[in-house]
Structure 1
Amino acid sequence: MPGVPSNKACERCKKKHLKCDETRPHCQRCTTAGAECPGYVQTRKFIDQGATVRRRYAPYQDVNSTTRSLRPRETGDVAQPSHTAQAHQLSDTQETHGPISSNLPNENGDSNHEDTRPNSTHYPQMIAETGPSGQLSFVTSQNQFFDPQSSESQLLAEQNYFPVPNAGSRSSRSTGHESISPNLSVDYSSFRGNTYMANPNSRPDYPGLTTSESMVHQNEKEDFHDLFSEIKMETEHEIAFLTRHYAENIAPWLDLSDAGKFFTVYVPIRALDCLSVKYAITSLAAKQLWRVKGAKPIVRGGIPASPAITEAYPNAGNADWFRKSANYYYMSASDLNNKTSGGYTAVSSSAALESPIEIVNRWLGSRSTQELARDSHHGTFVRKAEDILSTVTLLTLYRLLDLKGDEWHNHMSGIGSLFGSLWNLVQIHSTTFSHGIRASFWNFARYDYLGSYLSRSAPYLKPEGLALWRAAGISIVDENKFRISAMGPVNSSQEDQAANGLIWILSKVIDFRAQSKQSQIAQWEGSPSSNAAGETQTDSAEKDTNTWLDLCLELQTWFESVPETFRPCVRIEKPRDLFGNSDGAQMPFPEVFYSLPTCAAAMQHYHFGRIALLLNRPPDVLTAPSTAFDRLQGYREVTKEVDFRSREVCGIALARPHSEIRVHMTALLSAVGQCLESPKEHQIIMDLLCGIEADLGWSTDYIVQDLHSSWSNR
């Protein structure tokens, strides 16, 4: 007969009359208090008191048979008829209530014990647990696993002593390293059926069996339905926990230059109706938790005395977040593949291996103008495109989270054709992208130019494609110059326009840098490509010089036209290290704080762009200095400005800015670290990079190794 634990609290919490969180193997309250958790009592008490419980199990009793019990507990106990002894039985002869006795037929079919069966009130408790094999098993009152695949348990199941699930089923009552794959597409109502319940038709006809058997069997089904409802509820709690973790800690990374906060506000709501978005959110959140070993960031505004249910996850530090993230990623990629193929493609493991950008490119290539006109008339295409692009953005960030920077460029392949095809379809009815498409575009543009810098290659989003950049919400005048417009797009502030316009200018800088590299390689190899076009070496150098000067002028014009919010509200030129071991020694960098994260990040990237231009200045064959001392003076001026720009980048980083700023400054710190000379400056760069990976899970170890190698070779 089913029983319940006598007390679920650990011994320490029970003794101190505290509310125990019941975390296994040690409760969190004891761990927080620094005390050793004594564990949990394994004894069970049986809920066999009262006539109500006995009436519920009336079908297992025969009032006409002789009253007989191996362990009489009360006069109301009634033994089962003798012919039922041929079924496999549970023995209750030992004082400790062993899980299974030898009261089973031997190989010849004879029973080793007398033809009796204990009353149902003496049955050991059967509790669903995750067994050693990872399958759903049932544990007796002594916590011994009952293997559902054994022959004995199968025969016991036929007699309806306990249900045996299918071999492929799992229990979500798991530890941190073992849980079911949270596929919410499973029909949990099926747990009421015979797949998980004993078949009522398999029960033998007992003498004296009344019509109350249907009621008893229904009660049993309800009991186990409650169990699997709890499984579903635990899965829903995990998704709720991951969704909230994403909205509070990861989504701001994607809304760095979006005042409308599309990825923070709208994407979690879209996840309610779009499975690919839901699983993309949970996969990214789970992977980020795996990268930080389950640690939650410090809550701005104070730590609450008791967190909300959706903020807490039991034993989060030991949960297998990597496996969970992989499962969610597969489900998101599968749903994305199914959504973009019209729902006629079967789910395949190849969907998780294929690039999400390639999947969307294939979908956009199959769209015709007539289909778009029909969908646009009903207002469904833009909505679907936003959901798909949101999924692709999240899944791409999932891959970039622990990827080397020089490998980013490979994962950005195809974004130029993606947004180009999307613009060709959208421009029929609109002059700009919608809010969701713009938000995805600027995230890809930022990762594209940073990845192109680290791999020293040209960006995929070509800066000369002005129509695409205008559709993304920035104002570019006829002279191919950026300006901040007073009538910007909806959900876009002037700060957003300035930050996004800077990304376009920096893309031009990185593209110029890549072309300069190609020109140098062509000169070293003696390639006649330039001569074939009728362009001499002098003409090429003059063209590069003019382009370089134009880019310098654009950056300076941008800096002079930004709003006043781009001025720092706090600046300390020579801060002292009050918490280090240097007795208040001065720091080599200033500390600069901006009240708006968009402005802080934009100013960091502005100084980075100036450094990139200074280090890639082409030789001016027309007005070059005539003496070596003039060239030396020019190098000193470049070094002085590079040092100033590097100090500004580090000063913003030292002010402990928001996470959305920190995750986008790894490439900047890599460039700055190669320009600095002092060992103390090197140590600060190392601390900043290591802190980003430890706090946010963003991979920086490859940059640390590269910088160490660069410094050791000097």
Structure 2
Amino acid sequence: MLLSESPMQVAFTTDHAMLDELWKNEHYDPQFFDLQPDAYYSAAGNTCGFLPNIPEIVDEVDQSDIFALITSERDHEMAYLIRHFTEAIGPWMDLFDRDKHFTHLVPLKALRDALLRNAIAAVAAKQLGRVKGQKPFTGRQSQKPSAMEVLDDGTTEVDWFYKAANYYDKAIAFSRQYLQAVSGELSNPPSPNTQMAVSLANSDDLLVAVSIFSLYESLDNLETGWLQHLAGLKSLLGAVSPMQQVQNQVVPSLTVGRLASFWNFARADYQAAYLNKQRTLLNTEDFALWNSCGLEVQQDGSLYKSTDFVKNDPTHSRALAELVAHTLLWLVLRVMNYLASDENSSARQSQWEMLTRQLDHWYGNLPETFQPCANIRHPASGRSMRSQLFEAFFSIDVCAAAMQLYHFARILLLLHRPITTATERSAFRNRLKAYREVSTEAIRHAHEIIGVALGRPHPAIRVEMLLPLSIAGACLEENDERKVVLELLHAIEQDTGHSTGTRCEELMQEWGWAQEPEGIA
């Protein structure tokens, strides 16, 4: 039940002393990636210390050493991993990017770039390790799999975690070289010419690589490793501003990687801020920054230049859907900063009212593409009852993800509404009625989140929904519905490799369950 003396506060992850120093404030410039890499990375190639008896991992493209020769077997493995990244993992990172930079262009860049090649191989191998080498089921097909889709002969089990750590170690070593190059170019900036183009290309590739490192860590570690990469990515994003790139760039596509990395980072930023009860690393009040990355937000709180154009959506373009989804991401980040603000702040009520108005405006002016194209009632577990859950399917992935985030933000604002003096003085029955209304409204939003999950959307959406789905579960009162949420979370981990165990444990503790019901895998 959501009945108490104050609106329910959804439990956060326990604070960790190590994280406080990492996340002091949004202006903190972390040493993990402070453009002085030797502060954290040793001079040897065995950067992570994963191979204790090998002081230096040999670069596979160094043809001067016999141990560096690329064998047919190694070529096969790399092709297998790059294809797996392109088909299964790149789409996760491109969920809010219509240009699909990580899926379409990063694998091509990896042909010439050892940093990206090893970063891709590392995260692909780790994800395969977490799903025990299983790839998504595609159904029976007449054509047999290509050679690059099959790696082992079935007689030996591949140690994907070992391979992942090996590739990750190499990628970190290459990133050290990039950091040294970028730090030198920033301290001695060249004039706008080909050298500047090369510099920006290197920094963009480094941003992409660190984004992949962040995903690598987040598969099973949402503490220091993940947060360090996020803090480092924030520093790199600020090293060369978007406007500086536009003024100096020679090749127009150089900023594509930076923009893709920025929005990928924004998604991770709200998750990290929520889990650690901290403000976001990105400054949501820097309107120039956000508008340079494609938004149209204004200081007076307006979200778009032309609300009518957005709502009517005459072209039904992906660009407009992306603008609306990115605007929602910005609003979610603002909600995270509201949650992290001082509860006794005099400005808290006005902040809540502003966020509520902006979310109302966002939802009230959605284009047609943000509605499901298929919607049915979810079958009830028992014949005697009618299920209150629905299954919703969206034709555009980013629209489905944005709608879940919208309902996630509304739940958080409902549960963290400031208690005013008038509320404190109101009669007990009026307060009880208000709490019941909060409970009813929160459950309604929770059902919307669960409906998208029950529609079994693209894996990219399922990976993104971990926080919204767990918050939705915390609002539920019916045990059958709670069981559905646990089943959905378990299935996400089994299918994608993303860890959901902590979320499930928190929910069971919230519900007062000592153990999971029978029948949940």
TM-align CA RMSD: 3.0
Matches within 5 A, 1:45-194: 183-187=59-63, 190=66
> CA 1:398–1:420 in structure 2 vs 1: closer, same or farther (change >3 Å)?
same
Q: Is the 8 A contact 1:415 1:460 kept in 2?
A: no
Q: After TM superposition, give the deviation of residue 426 of structure 1 in Å.
A: 2.6
Paired with 1:502 and 1:261, the residues of 2 have a C-alpha distance of 19
> CA 1:632–1:666 in structure 2 vs 1: closer, same or farther (change >3 Å)?
same
Partner of 2:21: none
> Which one of the candidate residues 439, 443, 453 is aligned to 2:264?
443
Matches within 5 A, 1:120-269: 183-187=59-63, 190=66, 232-269=71-108
Partner of 1:398: 216
Q: After TM superposition, give the deviation of residue 710 of structure 1 in Å.
A: 2.2
Partner of 2:278: 457
Q: Look up the equivalent residue of 2:221 and give its one-letter code.
A: L
> CA 1:387–1:433 in structure 2 vs 1: closer, same or farther (change >3 Å)?
closer
- 1:668 pairs with 2:468: yes
Q: Look up the equivalent residue of 1:328 and give its one-letter code.
A: Y
Partner of 1:468: 289
Q: Look up the equivalent residue of 2:354 and give its one-letter code.
A: D
Per-residue displacement from partner, 1:416-450 (whole Å, max 9, x unpaired)?
Answer: 43322321743644799922111101111101101
Q: Look up the equivalent residue of 2:439 and give its one-letter code.
A: T
Secondary structure of 1:325's partner? helix
> Which one of the candidate residues 300, 304, 308 is aligned to 1:483?
304
Partner of 1:295: 134
Paired with 1:592 and 1:584, the residues of 2 have a C-alpha distance of 23
> CA 1:401–1:315 in structure 2 vs 1: closer, same or farther (change >3 Å)?
farther
Per-residue displacement from partner, 1:445-494 (whole Å, max 9, x unpaired)?
Answer: 10110111111111111211222212222112242432277799xx9711
- 1:550 pairs with 2:354: yes
Paired with 2:384 and 2:145, the residues of 1 have a C-alpha distance of 37
Partner of 1:283: 122
Partner of 1:699: 499
Q: After TM superposition, give the deviation of residue 315 of structure 1 in Å.
A: 4.4
Aligned residues: 447
Structure number with greater Rg is: 1
> CA 1:364–1:634 in structure 2 vs 1: closer, same or farther (change >3 Å)?
farther
Q: Is the 8 A contact 2:213 2:229 kept in 1?
A: no
Partner of 2:368: 564
Per-residue displacement from partner, 1:269-299 (whole Å, max 9, x unpaired)?
Answer: 0001110000000000000000001001112
Partner of 2:237: 419
Q: After TM superposition, give the deviation of residue 322 of structure 1 in Å.
A: 0.6
Secondary structure of 1:476's partner? coil
> Which one of the candidate residues 197, 216, 237 is aligned to 1:379?
197
> CA 1:694–1:624 in structure 2 vs 1: closer, same or farther (change >3 Å)?
same
Q: After TM superposition, give the deviation of residue 186 of structure 1 in Å.
A: 4.3
4+ runs deviating over 6 angstroms = 430-433, 484-488
> Which one of the candidate residues 379, 384, 390 is aligned to 1:576?
379
Paired with 1:484 and 1:238, the residues of 2 have a C-alpha distance of 49
Paired with 2:285 and 2:326, the residues of 1 have a C-alpha distance of 15
Secondary structure of 2:231's partner? coil
Paired with 1:375 and 1:473, the residues of 2 have a C-alpha distance of 26
Paired with 2:507 and 2:119, the residues of 1 have a C-alpha distance of 33
Provide structure 2 residue ranges, at least 5 long, that are not aligned to the other structure: 1-56, 515-521
Secondary structure of 2:486's partner? helix
Partner of 1:634: 434
Q: After TM superposition, give the deviation of residue 634 of structure 1 in Å.
A: 1.4
> Which one of the candidate residues 174, 192, 200 is aligned to 1:335?
174
> CA 1:190–1:575 in structure 2 vs 1: closer, same or farther (change >3 Å)?
closer
Q: Is the 8 A contact 2:297 2:304 kept in 1?
A: yes
Secondary structure of 2:280's partner? coil
Larger RCO (CA within 8 A; separation ≥ 6): 2
TM-score, normalised via structure 1 length: 0.58
Q: Look up the equivalent residue of 1:666 and give its one-letter code.
A: L
TM-score, normalised via structure 2 length: 0.79
> Which one of the candidate residues 154, 164, 173 is aligned to 1:325?
164
> CA 1:406–1:634 in structure 2 vs 1: closer, same or farther (change >3 Å)?
farther
Q: Is the 8 A contact 2:207 2:237 kept in 1?
A: no
Aligned sequence identity (%):
35
Q: After TM superposition, give the deviation of residue 693 of structure 1 in Å.
A: 0.7
Paired with 1:507 and 1:285, the residues of 2 have a C-alpha distance of 29
Paired with 2:277 and 2:408, the residues of 1 have a C-alpha distance of 15
Paired with 2:400 and 2:276, the residues of 1 have a C-alpha distance of 25
> CA 1:263–1:318 in structure 2 vs 1: closer, same or farther (change >3 Å)?
same
Q: After TM superposition, give the deviation of residue 378 of structure 1 in Å.
A: 5.4
> CA 1:290–1:660 in structure 2 vs 1: closer, same or farther (change >3 Å)?
same
Q: Is the 8 A contact 1:252 1:660 kept in 2?
A: yes
Q: Look up the equivalent residue of 1:261 and give its one-letter code.
A: K
Secondary structure of 2:236's partner? helix
Paired with 1:307 and 1:585, the residues of 2 have a C-alpha distance of 45
Partner of 2:49: none
